Amino acid sequence: MHGILGFGAYVPYRRLDLSTVASVAGGGGGAGMRAVASYDEDATTMAVEAARLARRRTPDVALESIWLATVSPPYLDRTNATTVHAALRLSEECGAYDVVGSVRGALGALRAGATQSGPALAVASDVRTGLAGGPDESFFGDGAAAVLLGDERHGDVVAEVAAWVSLSDEFVDRWRIPGETRSRVWEERFGELRYNELGHEAMSRVLKAADLAPADVDHLIVTGTHGRACRTLLGRAGVAPERHVDGMGSSIGNTGAAHPFLLLSGVLERAEAGRIIVLVVLADGAEALVLRTTPALAATRPASATLDEQVAQGAAVPYGRYLAWRGILPVEPPRRPEPARTSSSAAGRSRPWKFGFEGSRGADGAAHLPPRHDEPERLPMADARGTVVTFTVDRLSYSPSPPTVFAVVDFDGGGRLPVELTDVDAKAVRVGDRVEMTFRRLSTADGIHNYFWKARPCRGGVD
Amino acid sequence: MAAHGITDKVAIVGMACTKFGERWDLGLDELVVEAAEGAFASAGVGRREVDAYWLGTAQSGMSGLLLSRPLRVSDRPVTRVENFCASGSEAFRQAAYAVASGAYDVAMALGVEKLKDSGFQGANAAPVPNDGTTRSVTAAAMYSMIVPAYAKRYGVEVDEVKRALARIASKNHANGARNPRAQFRKEMSVEQLMAMPPIAGELSVFDCAGVADGAAAAIVVRAEDAYRYTPSPLFVKALSFIVGDGSGVSDPEYDFTTFPEVVLAVQEAYRQAGITDPRGQLAMAEVHDCFTPTELVLMEDLGFCARGGAWKEELAGTFDLTGDLPVNPDGGLKSFGHPVGASGLRMMFEAWLQLRGEAPADRRIRTLGQRNLALTQNLGGYPGEMVSFVSILGTEAPAA
């Protein structure tokens, strides 16, 4: 079985302050924050961001496959992972597969990636919705995380999989009717008891398989679909409380399929070499993994955009706007014509530009965005940073969340693009601001999502 | 480039322009008929005497049938042309070249646009199927980027630039208030205009051209035939059209304070017309003030004042009716309204009225009787990717 070569977690910029919920919804909410995907984000765009983070130390690993796990797929019938595949500019021979519909699917994606012969990327991403004022609205959060899997032939393994136990079970505790914005749950005690039995069993088996005792565990992650069951198992696992990994319930919320990878990424960002990490996921059974970190981990640690940094950098979104973004509160649309649907054939022809953000370089050395047809030299620009040369705030153009903030960006190393800004406060933009590119969903028409890139302010980290 | 021009080969012998504005009562057909009938009457010709037609419209319909059907023209060539907001000027160019070539004796150029049937405020381009990566911001937003760029380049406070923009709008509103065909006929003070809330960058609704319905038309003949139709024709002294390659939007050298396509077009027009001192030689100019910063930049690009000087000149009243060089004496796009395909011909219509002394006394240009050339400048597109037309029209007969 493969080990872990890379990892990355993506937390969207916006936060809902849960204390603001009750005054609007008449109840619900609570203390803390949940992460909120912006109006231009979905499971696919967040997966792209997480995958970019996971690949940044080993961008050249030739992936055999990528697996996208999500409960909130932007599309059914067609594959969502191919969009991620295109945005990452992966080889056409790299398989791109969805594992869609359940939280547990993320572990299936991880297992599929870990057990194939070549390197693989498992990405999990979710926009988690519940009804206004309900407990799930506060329990959930939005986010994505990715794990790059392979062995020493492909790169430096930063964590080995020492043991893996998977127990499947059939009982109905949490379910969602396809198309609905809410989950439904059975009476809480039933699930709590079932999951505790499953969790204990999985954990004892996996520790035995790895020839370890609970006291050997340095970082214990327990997550899943049943919040209370996770807390109970964590308390009774025989691992000292200071070795319990915080579930980030009050800073991000439970990100569904993404949460196991997200918490694991957070641990790998701070764990030392030779440490034992146990990951238990309670979802329609129990999965338990024992991971052992290696000395290579320190070199893989991200220099910026760590999970903690992203949590710290978040900015509030008002509750009403959050509800509008999720379609829970229908608000007056802009009185402008809605965008036409994107042409499939035109989008297909411009795939390297539209999805991969490739420019071109002319004989004179100048970079051009979009690429020019007569310039064969292609420039990958997605990781280029740039500077705002001038900008405007457009209160007239159609946007799912007006106003549109639009800037002319000059990229380091050449190239200029007039492009929309996102994750930005219109009043705070200044000429000279530093920006980086992010993959977003511009709009949707006739059910076709229009994906393209926007610029967002560089926040923290090295520049 | 071998641009030879058709200086003094073609004359306008009749023109008409409808009232611009919210013409809820009129459809495209009625607008076409009103402008065409007016031009026939102005030139004293019947429709059978016009040999060929060019119709400019940006997005109100397709093909020559837009004109042939309402005018009941069944045995003539009718060509629909489109070149963004310069579609009317483009129609004129084609008609002028057609008579200059000798292919036809009499041709009509007609520009029309019916914008107010969309049900949305503002102008909205008809979408062409595309890959979804094209810019979606409004024209107002694109032109609003001139404001900070201009302030930065010339070290002027943004508020001073805004004051100059308000002065431009105020001037054009004052002129439009004296024009019965104009969409907006209310004078607006600089203070009122500066207090308006922004809609795109620093621009308010009052920095934007009026979205209007309307039509305008011209009848052209070879210059030697002109006096058979009217004792006071307007002769075409220059026609110039430049389309950039759109590279400005992706060129880090471009700084949003000039329109290179306009500079090239006007240089060529001045060459054709033998103009060396536009501010001293032109009696008036009609320019494409789609947004107030556009007029600001155009004053410099057209050579009416020094680079970096337009904001001061506008504040000083240089381009007022009573100024050194009256600009947009009819109210411009700002106040007359901008029925896209009609605007280029509407500009020529003002030259037709003013140079021939037919403009009403309260908006007559100060230069009347001293100079006899008018410039019209009509553009389409955005800063960095633009089509630009310039004409120079004059009353002086060609040397025999």
Residues A246-300: pLDDT tens digits? 999 999 999 999 999 999 999 999 999 999 999 999 999 999 999 999 999 988 8
Question: Of all residues in chain B, what percent carry a pLDDT higher than 90?
Answer: 94
Select which of B173, B208, B290, B338 is catalytic.
B338
pLDDT, one tens digit per residue, over B149-183 is 999 999 999 999 999 999 999 999 999 999 999 99
The mean pLDDT value of chain A amounts to: 96
The average pLDDT across A4-25 equals 97
Given CB atoms, is B231 within the 8 Å cutoff of chain A? Answer: no
Tally of CB atoms within 10 A around B186: 11
Determine contact: B153 vs chain A, CB below 8 A.
no
H-assigned helices in chain B:
28-43, 65-71, 87-100, 139-144, 146-154, 158-177, 190-194, 260-273, 278-281, 292-301, 310-316, 332-336, 343-355
| Residue B218 pLDDT greater than 80, yes or no | yes
Answer yes or no: do B141 and A390 touch at CB < 8 A.
Answer: no
CA dihedral A127, A130, A132, A138 (to 10 degrees): -80
Tens digit of each residue's pLDDT (9 = 90 or more) over A39-93 = 999 999 999 999 999 999 888 999 999 999 999 999 999 999 999 999 999 999 9
Spatial separation of the C-alpha atoms in residues A229 and B110, rounded to whole Å: 77
CB pairs under 8 A between A and B: 111
CB atoms inside a 10 Å sphere around CB B238 = 25
Active site residue B290: no
Closest B-chain CA to A408: B249
- A contact test, residue of B124, B135, B136, B207 with most A CBs within 10 A: B136
pLDDT over 80 (residue B205) = yes
- What DSSP character marks residue B357? T
Q: Which chain A residue is nearest to residue B131, measuring alpha carbons?
A: A347
Q: What is the pLDDT of residues B117-135, one digit of tens each?
A: 988 877 777 778 999 998 8
Phi/psi-derived region of residue B395, left when phi > 0, alpha when psi is between -120 and 50, beta in every other case: alpha
In terms of Cα–Cα distance, which of A92, A107, A74 is closest to A179?
A: A74
Closest A-chain CA to B198: A395
Closest A-chain CA to B200: A394
Q: Taking CB atoms and an 8 Å limit, are A390 and B199 in contact across chains? A: no
Q: Which pLDDT score is estimated for A462?
A: 45
Residue B83 DSSP symbol: B
**Residue B209 C-alpha, separation from nearest chain A C-alpha, in angstroms:** 14
Instruction: Say what the ipTM of the complex is.
Output: 0.91
Contacts with A400 from chain B: Cβ below 8 Å: none
Q: Does A336 touch chain B (CB under 8 A)?
A: yes
Residue B326 has pLDDT above 50, yes or no: yes
Residue B338 a catalytic site member: yes
* Residue of chain B with shortest Cα separation from A360: B250
Chain B residues with CB under 8 Å of A397 CB are 136-138, 141
Average pLDDT over residues B305-327: 98
Distance CA A451, CA A83 (A): 9
Residue B164 phi/psi, 5° resolution?
-65, -40
Q: What is the pLDDT of residue B1?
A: 67
Instruction: Please give the backbone phi and psi of residue A77, each rounded to the nearest 5 degrees, phi first.
Output: 70, -60
- Indicate the residue of A349, A395, A452 with minimum beta-carbon distance to B199: A395
| Residue in B279, B296, B257 with CA at minimum distance from that of residue B171 | B296
List the single residue in B with minimal CA-CA distance to A347.
B131
Q: What is the mean pLDDT of residues B255-263?
A: 97
> Which distant-in-sequence residues (6+ apart) come within 8 Å of B325 by Cβ?
B278, B279, B282, B284, B285, B304, B318, B319, B367
Extract the tokens encoding B329. Answer: 């004496």
User: How near does any CA of chain B get to the CA of A418, in Å?
Assistant: 7
Query: With an 8 Å Cβ cutoff, are B250 and A451 in contact?
Result: no
Task: Give the Cα separation of B369 and B61 in Å (integer).
Answer: 41
pLDDT at site B120: 83
Distance between CA A389 and CA A429 in Å, rounded? 11
CA pair distance A160, A152, nearest whole angstrom: 11
The C-alpha of A450 sits at a distance from chain B's nearest C-alpha, in angstroms, of: 6
Give the residue from A341, A408, A422, A439 with the most B CB atoms within 10 Å of its CB, the best one to mutate: A408
* Tokens 């337009």, residue located: B310
What distance in Å separates the CA atoms of residue B150 and residue A418, rounded to the nearest whole number?
18
How near does any CA of chain A get to the CA of B128, in Å?
9
Q: Which residues 6+ apart lie within 8 Å of B231 measured at CB?
A: none
Q: What is the pLDDT of residue B3?
A: 85
> Which residues in chain A have Cβ-Cβ distances shorter than 8 Å to B145?
390-392, 408
Give the per-residue SS3 of A202-236: HHHHHHHHCCCCHHHCCEEEEEECCHHHHHHHHHH
Q: How far is B246 from chain A (nearest CA, A)?
A: 12
CA dihedral B345, B349, B351, B356 (to 10 degrees): 150
A360 in contact with B, Cβ within 8 Å? no
Q: What's the token pair of residue B37?
A: 């009938």
Radius of gyration of chain B (CA): 20
Is the CB of B136 inside 8 Å of chain A's CB atoms?
yes
pLDDT at A461 over 70: no
Predicted TM-score (pTM) of the model is 0.95
DSSP reduced 3-state for A58: coil
Q: Do A416 and B249 touch (CB under 8 A)?
A: yes
CA distance B114 to chain A (A): 17
Contact residues for B66 (Cβ-Cβ < 8 A; gap 6+): B28, B32, B55, B57, B60, B80, B112
High-pLDDT (> 90) share of chain A, %: 93
* Structure tokens belonging to residue B365: 């240009």
Mean pLDDT of chain B: 96
Enumerate the H helices of A213-318 as residue ranges: 227-236, 259-270, 297-300, 307-313
pLDDT band at A460 (very low <50, low <70, confident <90, very high): low
Inform me whether the C-beta atom of residue B138 falls under 8 Å from chain A C-beta atoms: yes
Identify the pLDDT of residue A463.
43
Q: Is A425 exposed, middle or buried (0-12, 13-18, 19+ CB in 10 A)?
A: exposed
A415: contact with B, CB 8 A cutoff? yes
Q: For A201-216, how does the pLDDT look when each residue is reduced to its tens digit (9 = 90+)? A: 999 999 999 999 999 9
pLDDT in tens, A152-173: 999 999 999 999 999 999 999 9
Q: What is the pLDDT of residue B123?
A: 73
Instruction: Flag whether pLDDT at B107 surpasses 90.
Output: yes
* pLDDT the model gives residue A303: 72
Q: How far apart are CA A382 and CA B146, in angstroms?
A: 28
pLDDT of residue A46: 98
A228 touches chain B (CB under 8 A): no
